[in-house]
């Protein structure tokens, strides 16, 4: 079985950071025998410029077939005045919707060398490695009824939290599968004390656990207490699974425990395909950063760590993913910094390609 990968660099710094990832993919092919069948295509403004739409049908079809999609970023001032239907973001939204990517994975990982950039104390965050799994396609952002109505002479804003058993079941499975590839521990967060959807959430997560994942350690926590625990002692967690709304908040909190936007990878997973692998889209959390695009300033690490996630969660190459993460850790420990990581420190930052060179050298040294 050949491993297939679709690369969509996109706009702004997307192509710049993706160029570094491509060199790393080639390195794994040459030195570790990981032969990927890689294809590259357009998304976002880059696709609009050529096809008049932010994602061509042929690209969409290709994304449905491959083992993993790796995306850079989309958008930029050049496209700000386009009609809503063809805005670059619509390309990304179409991918997420048509691939039905219901589990959004946001790791919060703290490299020792950057621990002092955190707003929390060094020993609270140093070595942190947790994963938030947020349900992405249902819940209060989608539930009906919704809207603003008139009632008793005033306006009422309405949104509905709504989860079916199958929606909870499938995201719980994603979380348990991930936990088995990590620290084997899941904490499920809801508000079963005040919300019926939370009661059902807790019941279904427990049922999936007892039936199919009894080997994984499961705990339940109210989401507000979870927010407190994330700030107090985040290392108690491995995988956190939660709904769309709580996940939106908790994943942003967790991300900021660890520093720069240029460091944050993500993944969105869907249902298992015929080969047992989940549909998967990997992408950095950051956008196209038009303020620094084309200047060689972008930090490629978020995109490189997104590829490391693909190695672990789509290609069953956990050891090679660790090798890549250790290489990133090594260059940071050696003081190699792109401009976004300089902050209070002095010294000369490296370029995007300079960071790529350093990581490749660290990979080479790992052999
Ligand atoms: P942004 O994430 O592009 O940039 C925010 C700030 O962080 C900027 O100062 C930027 O220079 C810096 N930054 C971001 N990534 C960096 C990296 N890898 N290395 C160094 N510095 C980095 O968010 P912003 O400015 O709100 O949006 C810019 C464009 O990107 C917009 O068109 C927006 O719609 C789009 N966008 C796309 C996303 C995606 O493709 N998933 C996500 C967020 C925004
Ligand atoms: Mg958010």
**pLDDT digits 0-9 by tens, 344-366:** 555 678 999 999 999 999 999 99
Per-residue model confidence as pLDDT tens digits over 96-126: 999 999 999 999 999 988 888 888 899 999 9
105: β partners: 133, 267
Residues 251 and 133 in one domain: yes
Residues 261 and 367 in one domain: yes
| pLDDT at residue 345 in the model | 57
292 CB within 6 A, ligand 1: yes
Residues 103 and 178 in one domain: no
Per-residue model confidence as pLDDT tens digits over 2-37: 899 999 999 999 999 999 999 999 999 999 999 999
Does 241 have pLDDT greater than 60?
yes
Q: Answer whether residue 32 is part of any domain.
A: yes
Query: What is the mean predicted confidence (pLDDT) over 136-140?
Result: 94
Distance CA 288, CA 352 (A): 14
Given 241, 256, 271, which residue is the final one in a domain? Answer: 256
Does the bond joining 278 to the residue before it have cis omega, within 30 degrees of 0? no
Atom of ligand 1 nearest to the CA of 10: 40
Residues 243 and 348 in one domain: no
Does 265 have pLDDT greater than 60?
yes
Residues 137 and 100 in one domain: no
| pLDDT at residue 94 in the model | 93
Per-residue model confidence as pLDDT tens digits over 284-304: 999 999 999 999 999 999 999
| pLDDT at residue 348 in the model | 74
304 CB within 6 A, ligand 1: no
Distance CA 220, CA 240 (A): 10
Q: Answer whether residue 96 is part of any domain.
A: yes
pLDDT band of residue 256 (cuts 50, 70, 90) is confident
Binding site as annotated, residues: 76-89, 96, 106, 134, 224, 248, 252, 287-299
Closest ligand to residue 95's CA: 1
| pLDDT at residue 353 in the model | 98
On whether the CB atoms of residues 218 and 207 are closer than 8 A, the answer is no
Residues 246 and 350 in one domain: no
Does 70 have pLDDT greater than 90?
yes
Backbone angles phi, psi at 272, to 5 degrees: -60, 140
Instruction: State the alpha helices, DSSP H only, in the chain.
Output: 14-32, 45-51, 57-65, 88-98, 122-125, 165-180, 196-212, 223-232, 244-256, 301-313, 318-333, 352-365
Residues 245 and 203 in one domain: yes
Given 193, 228, 256, which residue is the final one in a domain? Answer: 256
On whether the CB atoms of residues 356 and 17 are closer than 8 A, the answer is no
| pLDDT at residue 343 in the model | 67
Residues 139 and 192 in one domain: yes
Q: Answer whether residue 347 is part of any domain.
A: yes
Centre of ligand 1 from the C-alpha of residue 105, in Å: 19
The tokens for 121 are 């104390």
Q: Answer whether residue 114 is part of any domain.
A: no
On whether the CB atoms of residues 300 and 89 are closer than 8 A, the answer is no
Given 191, 223, 256, which residue is the final one in a domain? Answer: 256
Residues 217 and 242 in one domain: yes
pLDDT band of residue 202 (cuts 50, 70, 90) is very high
CATH classification at residue 287: 3.40.718.10
Q: Answer whether residue 45 is part of any domain.
A: yes
Protein residues near ligand 2, an ion, with CB under 5 A: 248, 252
What is the number of domains present in the chain? 2
Residues 229 and 143 in one domain: yes
Residues 96 and 140 in one domain: no
- Which are the contacts of 47, defined by CB distance < 8 A and separation ≥ 6? 41, 53, 54, 55, 56, 59, 91
Does 187 have pLDDT greater than 90?
yes
Residues 176 and 291 in one domain: no
Domain of residue 145, residue span: 129-256
Mean pLDDT taken over the chain = 95
| pLDDT at residue 300 in the model | 98
């Amino acid at each position: 079985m050949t491993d297939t990968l679709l690369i969509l660099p996109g706009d702004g710094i997307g192509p710049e950071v993706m160029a570094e990832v491509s060199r790393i993919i080639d390195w794994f092919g040459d030195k570790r025998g990981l032969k990927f069948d890689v294809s590259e295509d357009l998304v976002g403004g880059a696709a609009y410029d050529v096809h008049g739409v932010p994602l061509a049908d042929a690209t969409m079809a290709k994304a449905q077939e491959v083992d993993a999609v790796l995306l850079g970023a989309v958008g930029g001032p050049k496209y700000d005045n386009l009609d809503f239907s063809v805005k670059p973001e619509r390309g990304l939204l179409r991918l997420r919707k048509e691939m039905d990517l219901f589990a959004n994975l946001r790791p919060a990982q703290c490299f020792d060398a950057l621990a002092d950039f955190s707003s929390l104390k060094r020993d609270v965050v140093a070595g942190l490695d947790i994963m938030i799994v947020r349900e992405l396609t249902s819940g209060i952002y989608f539930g009906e009824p919704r809207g603003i109505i008139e009632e008793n002479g005033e306006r009422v804003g309405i949104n509905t939290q709504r989860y079916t058993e199958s929606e909870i079941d499938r995201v719980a499975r994603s979380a348990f599968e991930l936990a088995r590839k990590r620290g084997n521990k899941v904490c499920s967060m809801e508000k079963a004390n005040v919300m019926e959807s939370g009661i059902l959430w807790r019941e279904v997560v427990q049922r999936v656990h007892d039936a199919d994942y009894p080997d994984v350690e499961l705990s339940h926590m109210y989401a507000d207490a979870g927010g407190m625990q994330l700030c107090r002692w985040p290392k108690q967690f491995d995988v956190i699974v939660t709904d769309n709304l709580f996940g939106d908040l908790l994943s942003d909190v967790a991300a900021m425990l660890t520093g720069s936007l240029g460091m944050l990878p993500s993944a969105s997973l869907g249902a298992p395909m015929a080969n047992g692998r989940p549909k998967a889209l990997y992408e950095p959390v950051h956008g196209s950063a038009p303020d620094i695009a084309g200047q060689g300033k972008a930090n490629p690490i978020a995109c490189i760590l997104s590829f490391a996630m693909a190695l672990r969660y789509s290609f069953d190459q956990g050891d090679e993913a660790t090798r890549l993460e250790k290489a990133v850790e090594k260059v940071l420990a050696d003081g190699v910094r792109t401009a976004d990581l300089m902050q209070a420190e002095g010294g000369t930052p490296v370029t995007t390609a300079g960071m790529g060179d350093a990581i490749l050298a660290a990979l080479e040294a790992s052999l």
